[in-house]
Amino acid sequence: MKKLIALLALLLGTSMADAAGWTPPLTVSRAFTEESDLVVVYTSDGGQYSPGCSVNTWILTMSTDARRGRAWAAILTALASGQNVMFWYNDSCSAWNYHGAMSVMLAAP
């Protein structure tokens, strides 16, 4: 019984590890915000990280206006300086089948 529980925990843990994570460094090609306060980002060198999501498309979802502002500032910094970004994503698509991201990190080019 203990072996079965350990095997199930390993399998569930593995699927959860695949369900979220940081992307590799990506190049931001363009971005915009709209009245709904979405932060939409397009990258030029990414892949499909969640099943069914469009490649190189991201929607950042932040819990507060302050966090959304910091995320937007990071995206603009990446565009202006040529730095790459990394997104923390989960295993679901957002609006328009774009990848959903909850965090953004500046990364070296």
Torsion sign across C-alpha atoms 46, 17, 68, 76 = negative
Topology classification of domain 21-107: OB fold (Dihydrolipoamide Acetyltransferase, E2P) (2.40.50)
Q: Rounded CA gap, 50 and 62, in Å?
A: 19
pLDDT score of 98: 97
pLDDT score of 37: 83
pLDDT tens series, the chain, 109 aa: 544 344 344 444 333 335 689 999 999 999 999 888 899 999 999 999 999 999 999 999 999 999 999 999 999 999 999 999 999 998 889 999 999 999 999 998 7
Tokens, residue 32: 């915009």
CA quadruple 59, 62, 66, 70: dihedral, nearest 10 = -50
- Predicted model pTM: 0.80
Report domain extents, the chain.
Answer: 21-107
Helix (H, G, I), strand (E, B) or coil at 88: strand
